[in-house]
Structures are given as C-alpha cells and as structure tokens.
Amino acid sequence: MTVTRLVSLRAVVVSALLLSSSYAFAQQSPVSSNTRVRGTVESLDGETLHVKSREGADVTLHLPQSAGVAGVAKMSLADVKVGSYIGVTSVPDSDGSQKAVEVHVFPEAMRGAGDGTRPWDLKPNSNMTNGAVDDRTVAANDGHTLTVRYKGGERKVLVTPDTTVVTFVPAARSDIKAGTPVFAIATKKPDGTLDVARLSIGRDGVSPPM
C-alpha cells in the first residue's frame, strides 16, 4: 500500500470518527431520557471513565473501546460564513431577543443534523438551534446578529464578544487525560450504568461549551 493511500485511508477513518462523535449530540431531543454530562475527567481506567461534573458530582461512565471521540477547538466568528451549518445555544435577553451563549460549527458532512430548535439544559431557559447561517446576518456595534434558518423556520441570535465559538476537530482516545474537559450524552442502562457512545473533549484549553 502506498504512502498516499495510507494517508487517504487515515483521513477517511478520522472523518468517520469525527462525524459519529458529534452526530448523536446534534440529534438529541429534549424529551430523551438520556443524561447530558458536562465536567472534567478524573481518570480513564479501561472502559471506565470517571468525571467530576460541573455540579461537583462524581459521575462514572462506561466508555467502550468502540466509542467515538471528537475534539472541540476554538474558532473565530469571522470564519463562520453565510451558509455554514451551525448549532447555537441561546438564552432570552431582557428585550425578548435571543443572545448566543455558544456557537459550534459542524463539519460539512453533518449538514442537516439535528435541524430545528429545541429546549436545552446548558443554562436556565436556554435553547439549542441547528441550522444554516442566512445571508441576512448583520454586524452591529454590540456584536453580530446571526439568522439561523432551519426547516420550517428561523431564529435570530445575537453573538457578542462573550459568545464562545468552536468547531469539531479530530481527536483520539489517547487524548482523554485527567483534567480534560468533556461533554457527553449518556444512556442509562437497566442496571444503572451510564453508557457513552460518543465523547466530545476540549482541545487547547477549550471546554466543550454546549
């Protein structure tokens, strides 16, 4: 096998893992019985992942060898273009408008995943909206108003200097170390085990903000 073919094969594998790692996150419904876990890795022992949650609780997760891992890295708002497929967590402002807490940009292969808007639990009264950036996005002194269009509707959100903007990047299981910030959607099994099929981890000092 040539070096070029090996590099191409590796790129395909990395892309597939990245896609699978973030697809379930994009698709999650607020009525799901799954549990969203946000916190910091304490240790990874085989397939047992110990996390200190943002609430301070010790959470034990089952992370099988087959689980996908995706990195979350900082991105510039300037790199979010018209047509980019994004997810936005927003909260209502005092004037009734929506202010973005975070924006995450999906790989092109994930366009359409989780399309729509739904309640989210990052902050009280927060919502998650997945859609494409419309060309009516405008800049203002206090930030950028993004129009996010999804099937059947749209939502305008104000992105301020305080809004965290990230994208998904390749990552590996070996990147999961003590102190690594993580986000996961865990499925509770009949025996009480919290099973994780995909894990998002922070890279270069970034915590998954979603």
The 3-state secondary structure of the chain, one letter per residue: CCHHHHHHHHHHHHHHHHHHHHHHHHHCCCCCCCEEEEEEEEEEECCEEEEEECCCCEEEEECCCCCEEEEEEECCHHHCCCCCEEEEEEEECCCCCEEEEEEEECCHHHCCCCCEEEECCCCCCCEEEEEEECCCCEEECCEEEEEEEECCEEEEEEECCCCEEEEEEECCHHHCCCCCEEEEEEEECCCCCEEEEEEEEECCCCCCCC
CATH number of the domain encompassing residue 42: 2.40.50.320
Domain membership of residue 207 (yes or no) is no
Mean pLDDT of the chain: 86
Domain membership of residue 208 (yes or no) is no
pLDDT at 95: 87
pLDDT digits 0-9 by tens, 107-155: 998 899 899 999 999 999 999 999 999 988 877 656 789 999 999 999 9
Domain membership of residue 122 (yes or no) is yes
Q: Which domain holds residue 189?
A: 3-72+167-202
Domain membership of residue 209 (yes or no) is no
What average pLDDT score do residues 82-92 get?
96
Domain membership of residue 35 (yes or no) is yes
Same domain? 111 vs 174: no
Same domain? 84 vs 119: yes
Domain membership of residue 210 (yes or no) is no
Percent of the chain with pLDDT over 90: 74
Domain count, the chain: 2
